[in-house]
Structure 1
Amino acid sequence: MNILRLSTKNLLRNKLTTFLNIILVAFGVAILTILFLASTQIGDKLEQNAKDIDLVVGAKGSPLQLILSSIYHIDFPTGNIPLKDATELMQNPMVKRAVPLALGDNFQGHRIVGTDSGFVSLYGLKLVAGKFWSRDLEATIGSGVAAEAHLKVGDKFFGAHGLSDASDEHKHHAYTVTGILQAQGNITDNLILTNIGSVYKMHEPDHDEHEAQKEAEISNKEITSILIQYRSPMSVVIFPRMVNQSTNMQAASPAMESARLFSLIGVGIETLKWFALLIMAISALSVFISLYNAMKEKKYDLAVMRSLGASKAKLFFLVMLEGLLITVSGAILGLFIGHLALHMIAHYQESSQARLTGLYFVTDELYLIIAGLVIGVVASILPAIQIYRVDIAQTLSKEK
């Protein structure tokens, strides 16, 4: 007697009930899959993009907004800071490396970042084609920008004012692509890098060209923020306090603000996790009820099988296998639905800087398969135990 074939036939007798139970399990697993994938990717992106940055200095306002705009490029800056004050701060003995940022423009939703060669060193950027920018209106683009905007070395494009809107283009100056970055798996894949002089030139079209190219001329000029690495651990305590209390600028810690951001996101994730677990608990109850009712209907068949030589143990595993087939099938289907749903969600995400993907796998997904096995065992154990209580003679005599 082939137990697997027999279990499958028993489930197919009531196709609708079996299908609904599988879908119920799949729905709970799919929600958990999306949460696992999304939270892991968000956590990884937060860590990858800020791992070598100790502090961000910018205009006073929300520290979280400053971090989101300067490191993750998914929010508007808190304002600008005088380049003169920023330069003095960048030369502080407690600072090992300081990278200036000038934001304000975009190209097809990809942010144009005015900076210097320190940005290249900070993120360990490498090229797959061309060279890094060196003069005004030269740009080195991320791999994601090149792919989405279909740009190559030598192409020209116009930046637009703002961080996402493309309606107000700077038609008086065009950028030239001089290089394409190697994929880094972080925010730099979706950035357009140029020098700060280019940003000034875009917003000062009538300014004398010679003066616009002189980045050393810092009077009346502003930048958006500074990415800072400390020279020593002692700076962690002293430097942020000095900036916040002694200057008109604000210092924000990426580690602290990222942890705060993730804790805010975590509240919603935990709520959805409990919701998904409740669905899986309901699915276990549904499978139990289905198998229990099926046991009552098949009591005569089981008694016949016993009289023909089938052991109690074999029939016990027959019922257990039915529950496992439902829940494991549901778990596998749920994993597929979860990945597919997240991939579709990512396709419609407006921000390319924080884009998720369904083509990503985490070890926690293995636990969902195990959870399917556990649910199958729990839901099947009581109906399966009923096998041992079936009185063959009494059952057969009642059916005559």
Structure 2
Amino acid sequence: MNAVTLAWRALRHTPLASSLNLLLVAIGIAMMTFILAVSAQLEERAERDATGIDLVVGAKGSPLQLILSSVYHADIPTGNIPEGTLAALAAQPLVKSTIPLALGDNFHGFRIVGSTTALAGHYGARLAQGSLFTQPMQAVFGARAARETGATLGASFAGSHGLAAGGELHQHAPYTVVGILQPTGSVVDRLILTPVASVWQVHETDPDEQAAGSVAAPAAPPERELTAVLVQYASPLAAIYLPRWVNSQARLQAAQPAFEAARLFNLLGVGIDVLRAIAAGVLLVAALSLFVALYGALEERQWDMAILRTLGASPFKLLRLLLAQGLLLSLAGAAIGWLLGHAGIGILESMQDLNLQPWRILAAEAWLPVIAAAVGLLAAAIPAARAYRTDIAATLARP
């Protein structure tokens, strides 16, 4: 009978202690798996969504809020800017390309984004069905937005006021679905794209807004506005001069996605480090608990160990027996913890729109079984060393 079989039977002899130790190891590994996978995927997604966007021009306010609302579509905008800002930026020799954004409405919680077809092209989105929009009040759905709303080609829908579900419906200006995009793994998957003119038309023809405006009877029609403009530099010099020029304008501010994303992840990094420390603490507690269990089991089974020695078991075999118990518990706990960690990512993805891949395996996860094995071996080291030095005569002579 080999050491692994003996170790398994020994663990089965103390089911409660073994189960508790297994659970502690599993919780620690699950926390580490969850933290590693979620933080890595969120950072990758942030970099992917901001790729090719060197500058965001929007209304004055928080630069981070401007980036979150215009690049990641995860916050409310800082305000609106004049329509003429787009032409002014496009005329700058330091600007390679511009993409306008007009926000304000949603459909079942998915944002309706007024823009140009260049926004879909920027993220490498391809059509799964239909075509891109060519005129106002046509809409193209991202893959996730189409899947969760049940959008089909030719269907009509009305947007809700605001960027969260539950706002007032704009029944007077329905959109028509003309296209559905293939999945890209980027932010465009959860957007509904339409021409900027659609957003203007919806609000300019809103009976409630017209009624409110008729009271004041303005002499001239209000200036049309955008929410933000995404800018790509034509030259590295633009990073020096263009933000300064934008910030000198009375209503405009410039925010750099790379800088703001780095600042955001630095802030989040503190919390992630704390969670990692907690997970390491749980593993340390698991190691101590495993040590106490194995040491206690050795105290209770000294007679059995001595009998094994008299039957021909070498000291090295007793050493391997205790080490095998520690390894079995730690590696089994690692396997269960890995499954729990990835299942937790799946639950998080079902609750939050984070575009996570629950069962994607990261290279960093290869260290988790090694860490678990080290925990098991360290916990079993002292009991195993004591078993190795078992004095047969002294043990059997005890009453």
TM-score of the aligned structures, taking structure 1 as reference length:
0.94
Inter-partner Cα distance in structure 2 for 1:5 and 1:363: 32
The correspondence for 2:276, drawn from 267, 273, 284, is: 273
Runs of 4+ with deviation above 4 angstroms: none
Equivalent residue number for residue 213 of structure 1: none
Greater Cα shift, 356-365 or 80-89: 356-365
Q: Is the 8 A contact 2:172 2:206 kept in 1?
A: no
Inter-partner Cα distance in structure 2 for 1:120 and 1:343: 27
Equivalent residue number for residue 159 of structure 1: 159
Q: Is the 8 A contact 1:70 1:225 kept in 2?
A: yes
| Aligned amino acid, residue 81 of structure 2 | I
Inter-partner Cα distance in structure 2 for 1:296 and 1:113: 69
Inter-partner Cα distance in structure 2 for 1:139 and 1:226: 20
Question: Matched residue of 1:198: which SS?
Answer: helix
Q: Is the 8 A contact 1:107 1:166 kept in 2?
A: no
Inter-partner Cα distance in structure 1 for 2:282 and 2:222: 62
| Aligned amino acid, residue 132 of structure 1 | L
Equivalent residue number for residue 36 of structure 2: 36
Aligned-residue CA RMSD (Å): 1.4
Inter-partner Cα distance in structure 2 for 1:161 and 1:130: 26
Q: Deviations over 1:13-33 (max 9, x none)?
A: 110000000101111111111
Question: Matched residue of 1:194: which SS?
Answer: strand
CA drift of 1:395 comes to 1.1
Inter-partner Cα distance in structure 2 for 1:206 and 1:280: 60
What is the 5 A alignment of 1:13-24?
13-24=13-24
Equivalent residue number for residue 312 of structure 2: 309
Inter-partner Cα distance in structure 2 for 1:270 and 1:385: 35
Inter-partner Cα distance in structure 2 for 1:100 and 1:292: 68
Equivalent residue number for residue 68 of structure 2: 68
Q: Is the 8 A contact 1:106 1:166 kept in 2?
A: no
Question: Matched residue of 2:236: which SS?
Answer: coil
Question: Matched residue of 1:153: which SS?
Answer: coil
Equivalent residue number for residue 170 of structure 1: 170
Equivalent residue number for residue 328 of structure 1: 331
Q: Is the 8 A contact 2:86 2:98 kept in 1?
A: no
Equivalent residue number for residue 188 of structure 1: 188
2:368 corresponds to 1:365: no
Inter-partner Cα distance in structure 2 for 1:179 and 1:169: 22
Question: Matched residue of 2:5: which SS?
Answer: helix
CA drift of 1:219 comes to 7.1
Equivalent residue number for residue 379 of structure 1: 379
What is the 5 A alignment of 1:151-300?
151-205=151-205, 220-300=223-303
Greater Cα shift, 5-14 or 58-67: 5-14
The correspondence for 1:339, drawn from 339, 342, 345, is: 342
Inter-partner Cα distance in structure 2 for 1:372 and 1:132: 52
Question: Matched residue of 1:113: which SS?
Answer: strand
| Aligned amino acid, residue 150 of structure 2 | H
Q: Is the 8 A contact 2:170 2:206 kept in 1?
A: no
Percent identity among equivalent residues? 42
TM-score of the aligned structures, taking structure 2 as reference length:
0.94
CA drift of 1:193 comes to 0.3
Q: Is the 8 A contact 1:83 1:219 kept in 2?
A: no
Inter-partner Cα distance in structure 1 for 2:375 and 2:158: 57
Structure 1 gaps of 5+ residues are: 208-217
Structure 2 gaps of 5+ residues are: 208-220
Q: Deviations over 1:64-103 (max 9, x none)?
A: 0000000000000000000013321222111000000000
Q: Deviations over 1:122-165 (max 9, x none)?
A: 22221111100111110111000111011121111111100013
Inter-partner Cα distance in structure 1 for 2:252 and 2:388: 77
